[in-house]
Structure 1
Amino acid sequence: MYKAFSLVLFGLMTCLVAKAQTAAPVFDVQHYRFAIQLTDANDTLKGQAEVRIKFLKDVNSFQLSLARPNDKGKGMLVSAVTEDTKNVPFTQDDELLTINASAKTNSLHSYNIVYQGIPADGLIISTNKFGHRTFFGDNWPNRAHNWLPCADYPGDKAQVDFVVTAPDHYGVISNGLKVEETVLPNHLKLTHWKETAQLPTKVMVIGVADFAIDHPGDAGSIPVYTYVFPENKEQGFKSYAIAKNILPFYIKNVGPFAYKKLANVQSKTIFGGMENAGAIFYFENSTTSPGIEELMAHEIAHQWFGDAASEKNFGHVWLSEGFATYMTNLYLENKYGIDTLKKREAADREMVLSFEKRRLTPIVDTAVKDDYMQLLNANSYQKGGWVLHMLRRKLGDEAFWKGIRNYYAKYNGGNAYTSGLQKIMEQAGGQDLKQFFEQWVYKTGHPDLDITWKYNAAKGIIELKVTQKQERLFKLQLEVATGKHLHTINVNERINIARFKVASKPKELKPDPNVNLLATFTVSEGN
């Protein structure tokens, strides 16, 4: 997702997310079918969820996440739970629906849950900038439980059907393919979308609004659609059409697109963009945004990383956000050239360094237990992207892309920890990457390098001293340029000495001229 929300909204949202999933799961959801009824008369949602579950342990009861009505009257109240038409006892607390049913290990059961209420969050019911009523799912990180009974964490992925009944003037967009659209009495319409790929709840959505729809083209066999508010039709169709040109880059370099269509949707998401699988939601003013290509490249990259290949838990969210950040840079490098990549990596580096001054934490941040909005930071995005950039330079392009393709192939439809990525990249590059991942991903900080140099005219050499000023030592390779010549220095100790021949005294010595190292530098010429 792309971050574009205020600190005030950030504070409001962090109090609405559910508690973390900490215990080992006792079940694996196989399929959801959500039948949702919406009306223009009020904000009450009427829902019926059919949840098919495979149990991983013997249980006498189990829990799904679902927010009960709060003191403002917003939340979901369950009226019945059944299995094969048989009533099943249940209880609700603030965040959990406990279903008191026995099940054996490896058994499959389907439960039907009838509920209704006004969503406190997750399904945003509001008006757009033109004053028209809209309904948009906005589930990241674990806000789906505010309107859907579910296993609301990324480690449980399932197929999903959304069957939406709403006033017939609305269009409906969702994950997967539309398999039914039926006009009903009383000016209602039923729309059924079916997704057969495995999704985490964070990217299961519906969008219900008055839409203008365009089909700017296909990316191979994947149809690409545009859904915008009718008042933005002319500009929206034009600006969103770039999506069909972005998709082929990822298909070629990463692997097949996991879904059967891609819809790009103008919406009311609280984020700049939200990577819902096969139905990306963009912020309301995105149709006229000068940064729409970059935004779309980021969200489309998420279709591979975050949606299809998902992090196992939010502590490893950089496998989603860091990947989308760097894949965007690679797409733009491919289109506009290496100088574009250098500028973007330099800007990303500054964001990482600025963030470290406020909060020093590793990329894999296990200290965050439930307030996952904290993870939308420069560590997860820009530093995660920088890790991939340095990994690419360490392994070389061929091995790097081989590793990326193998990672996607292995975890498409599943979930990964960072250790899974490390193992695959080690296999692709034929290198031990334990030290690399330890210093860049699991620990904090960056190298702070003090570089002093002097020219020895008698010997025609540069004598260089590189001192690591930070507390914890890194092992790295530093490139320095003297004019058009590039020199590589191994920096492993507190103080590192290097000498290299030069034709004449250079005007300056420039560290990291190709922007390949996440570090800070001070350079001085000695006597």
Structure 2
Amino acid sequence: MRKKIYLLLIAPLMGALYVNAQVPGANVDIKHYRFAITLNDANNSIDGQATITAKFVKPATILTLDLFKKNKDGKGMLVIAVKENSLPVKFKQDSDKLILNTKAAKGTIHKYNVTYAGVPADGLIISTNQYKHRTFFGDNWAIRARYWLPCIDNPADKASVEFLVTAPAKYKVVANGLKVLEKNVPPNQKLTHWSETAQLPTKVMVIGVAEFATDSPGNPGGTPVYSYVFHEDKAEGLKNYSVATKILPWFVKRIGAFPYKKLANVQSKTIFGGMENAGAIFYYERSVNDSQGIEPLMAHEIAHQWFGDAISEKSWWHVWLSEGFATYMTNLYMEGTYGVDTLKSRLAADRDLIFGFEKKYNAPVVDSAYKGEMIGMLNANAYQKGGWVLHMLRRKIGDDAFWKGVQAYYKQYNGSNAHTDDLRVIMEKVSGINLKPFFTQWLREAGHPQLKFTWNYNDADKTLAVHITQLQAKPYQLEVEFTVDGKLYRSDISGSSTTITVPAASVTPRIKIDPDVNLLATFDTVNKP
């Protein structure tokens, strides 16, 4: 997702054929969810009927689902009944778990029906939009689906999903997948059924319900693109959202086929600037009015459809595989559309954010020691530094190998999960380079290189000796670039101190360090040693 500005600066102090995607060590792999949800305008209570298809990978006597129980404030879900094959199943609820008593052998598939009701404490946001009209929007990241859906609320357990939404007839409903049914039902209601056959993590399973104006601006590559905006924003919103038809084919050409059968872009009520719900992206309300900012925002969220949705991180420590990819793919789209100077300026701005964040919280990108709130993981390490690592990887192995690696990564892990080493192994195969040192120093260690450049001129042989000192405690293995009188020089360095001698025409040569913005480092330059 794309964070709003105030989130950006938060420090983390606070008989079918199924793809296997499950929580490591779990006794069950959820294969399919079918959620029937009834909404109303009289109050914020919802009625739910969940049908959960589960394959047991180990013998089990219980199935534990995530579901937030009704609390003392009256918010939460109360389970009324659980059945399997029309027979009652014993269960109990604690504060955030629903525990079913069941007897399941390894390899068996069971289907449970859970009837429940309540007022969502979170996850499904029932409120009014900026025009005071009532709206209902799922907002599940990171583990907030449990506030309104009985599920395994973990990105490592992926499943196909259906939503059957019954709501007052004035509303339009959008969700993951394709619309398979829309019909009026008494009294003055409408049933809308959406079905997604791809494997999704719960973080991107959603519904959006509002009085929408809709449009279909195009069908690039056979993928229908839709826009959903509030009626008051119809003219400007539908025009600005149509840029998605330009962004989508750019990514398809370079990454691979779009993972889903439609792409809807939806004006919504979300705590994020954009949220990458699979095939149904939600954007903040005023996004429709941002004719300049909507393009990179949409590029970020559309890139997530491949990275974060189709390929999901195995654990939250590896969230950079979602946010770093979306950040860098946005930068690459902007470079491809508006030129290399756009990429340079975006990378330079991202570099400043990384170093500013590092002063508040110095940790590696793959931050296995982090124990704070989930929202704290959405930081400059995951977004901007993750994106920068991909940029340096691209420069290290070359464009051809980089894109071959991206395509191979998507092909292998589409519909399942990956972690950082999975990406590394694929990039090593396509490039023929041992990338473990690169991945270790940039992703699993905190900090960045601090480089001091000094130089002196030898008039006798017309040469310039450029001295590079790594000021941080542990030297990096890296490539530095600089120009002397417009000529580019590159050098691999690994020690604390390196000297490079190059020709120079005068005692006052024109020197520029990292001219193409290719190294995540700070640079201190002094004319003489």
TM-score, normalization: structure 1?
0.96
Whole-Å separation in 1 of the counterparts to 2:270 and 2:26: 30
Q: Is the 8 A contact 2:23 2:154 kept in 1?
A: no
- Structure 2 SS opposite 1:220: helix
Q: Is the 8 A contact 2:179 2:192 kept in 1?
A: yes
Whole-Å separation in 1 of the counterparts to 2:34 and 2:138: 15
Corresponding residue for residue 299 of structure 2: 297
Shift of the alpha carbon at 1:106?
1.1
Corresponding residue for residue 49 of structure 2: 48
Pair 1:157-2:133 in alignment: no
Whole-Å separation in 1 of the counterparts to 2:355 and 2:394: 21
Instruction: Describe the superposition over 1:66-122 as per-residue Cα deviations: whole angstroms up to 9, x where unpaired.
Output: 000122110000011110011010010111101111111111000000000000000
- Please give the residue correspondences for 1:345-356 in structure 2 after superposition, counting only pairs within 5 Å: 345-356=347-358
Instruction: Describe the superposition over 1:226-257 as per-residue Cα deviations: whole angstroms up to 9, x where unpaired.
Output: 00000100000110000000001100000000
- Please give the residue correspondences for 1:140-179 in structure 2 after superposition, counting only pairs within 5 Å: 140-179=141-180
Q: Is the 8 A contact 1:482 1:506 kept in 2?
A: no
- Structure 1 SS opposite 2:468: strand
Corresponding residue for residue 234 of structure 2: 233
Corresponding residue for residue 442 of structure 2: 440
Corresponding residue for residue 4 of structure 2: 4
Q: Is the 8 A contact 2:482 2:511 kept in 1?
A: yes
Corresponding residue for residue 18 of structure 1: none
1:276 partner letter: N
1:217 partner letter: G
1:2 partner letter: R
Q: Which of 418, 421, 438 matches 2:420?
A: 418
Aligned CA distance change for structure 1 residues 37 and 5 (closer, same or farther; 3 Å): farther
Corresponding residue for residue 17 of structure 1: none
Instruction: Describe the superposition over 1:202-239 as per-residue Cα deviations: whole angstroms up to 9, x where unpaired.
Output: 00000000000001111110010000000100000110
Shift of the alpha carbon at 1:503?
3.3
Corresponding residue for residue 338 of structure 1: 340
Corresponding residue for residue 132 of structure 2: 131
- Structure 1 SS opposite 2:324: helix
Q: Which of 319, 322, 332 matches 2:321?
A: 319
Corresponding residue for residue 476 of structure 2: 474
Whole-Å separation in 2 of the counterparts to 1:107 and 1:232: 50
Which stretch of the first structure deviates more once superposed, 283-292 or 31-40? 283-292
TM-score, normalization: structure 2?
0.96
Shift of the alpha carbon at 1:22?
8.6
2:2 partner letter: Y
Aligned CA distance change for structure 1 residues 507 and 10 (closer, same or farther; 3 Å): closer
Corresponding residue for residue 496 of structure 1: 498
- Please give the residue correspondences for 1:82-93 in structure 2 after superposition, counting only pairs within 5 Å: 82-93=83-94
Aligned CA distance change for structure 1 residues 31 and 9 (closer, same or farther; 3 Å): farther
Corresponding residue for residue 19 of structure 2: none
Corresponding residue for residue 18 of structure 2: none
Whole-Å separation in 1 of the counterparts to 2:318 and 2:158: 16
Q: Is the 8 A contact 2:23 2:157 kept in 1?
A: no
Shift of the alpha carbon at 1:457?
1.1
Query: Once superposed, what is the RMSD of the aligned Cα atoms?
Result: 1.6
Instruction: Describe the superposition over 1:38-70 as per-residue Cα deviations: whole angstroms up to 9, x where unpaired.
Output: 000110010000000011111111200000012
Pair 1:453-2:443 in alignment: no
- Structure 1 SS opposite 2:384: helix
1:491 partner letter: I
- Please give the residue correspondences for 1:349-364 in structure 2 after superposition, counting only pairs within 5 Å: 349-364=351-366
1:385 partner letter: G
- Structure 1 SS opposite 2:482: strand
Whole-Å separation in 2 of the counterparts to 1:359 and 1:370: 12
Aligned CA distance change for structure 1 residues 391 and 113 (closer, same or farther; 3 Å): same
Give unpaired runs (5+ residues) of structure 2: 15-21
Corresponding residue for residue 70 of structure 2: 69
Which stretch of the first structure deviates more once superposed, 267-276 or 489-498? 489-498
- Structure 1 SS opposite 2:150: coil
Shift of the alpha carbon at 1:490?
2.1
Whole-Å separation in 2 of the counterparts to 1:159 and 1:506: 65
Shift of the alpha carbon at 1:369?
4.4
- Structure 2 SS opposite 1:237: helix
Shift of the alpha carbon at 1:368?
2.7
The number of residue pairs the alignment matches comes to 519
Q: Is the 8 A contact 1:5 1:270 kept in 2?
A: no
Corresponding residue for residue 208 of structure 1: 209
Pair 1:386-2:388 in alignment: yes
Pair 1:94-2:79 in alignment: no
Whole-Å separation in 1 of the counterparts to 2:524 and 2:505: 24
Corresponding residue for residue 287 of structure 1: 288
**Structure 1 outlier segments of 4+, above 3 Å:** 5-11, 503-508
Instruction: Describe the superposition over 1:380-436 as per-residue Cα deviations: whole angstroms up to 9, x where unpaired.
Output: 000000000000000010011000000011111110010000000001111000100
Shift of the alpha carbon at 1:491?
1.6
Shift of the alpha carbon at 1:508?
3.3
Whole-Å separation in 1 of the counterparts to 2:451 and 2:108: 58
1:523 partner letter: T
Corresponding residue for residue 523 of structure 1: 525
2:97 partner letter: L
Instruction: Describe the superposition over 1:440-473 as per-residue Cα deviations: whole angstroms up to 9, x where unpaired.
Output: 0111100000111011111111112111111121
- Percent identity among equivalent residues? 55
Shift of the alpha carbon at 1:142?
0.7
- Structure 2 SS opposite 1:117: strand
Q: Is the 8 A contact 2:56 2:105 kept in 1?
A: yes
- Structure 2 SS opposite 1:327: helix
Whole-Å separation in 2 of the counterparts to 1:68 and 1:284: 30
Q: Is the 8 A contact 2:8 2:379 kept in 1?
A: no
Aligned CA distance change for structure 1 residues 516 and 365 (closer, same or farther; 3 Å): same
- Structure 1 SS opposite 2:60: coil
Give unpaired runs (5+ residues) of structure 1: 15-20
Q: Is the 8 A contact 2:23 2:156 kept in 1?
A: no
Corresponding residue for residue 122 of structure 1: 123
- Structure 2 SS opposite 1:320: helix
Corresponding residue for residue 262 of structure 1: 263
Whole-Å separation in 2 of the counterparts to 1:242 and 1:376: 26
Corresponding residue for residue 28 of structure 2: 27
Shift of the alpha carbon at 1:271?
0.3
Q: Which of 368, 373, 376 matches 1:374?
A: 376
- Structure 2 SS opposite 1:339: helix
- Structure 2 SS opposite 1:61: strand
Shift of the alpha carbon at 1:371?
2.0
Shift of the alpha carbon at 1:502?
2.5
- Structure 1 SS opposite 2:224: strand
Whole-Å separation in 2 of the counterparts to 1:392 and 1:274: 27
Corresponding residue for residue 197 of structure 1: 198
- Structure 1 SS opposite 2:142: coil
Whole-Å separation in 2 of the counterparts to 1:160 and 1:378: 32
Q: Is the 8 A contact 1:235 1:288 kept in 2?
A: yes
Shift of the alpha carbon at 1:339?
0.5
Aligned CA distance change for structure 1 residues 233 and 355 (closer, same or farther; 3 Å): same
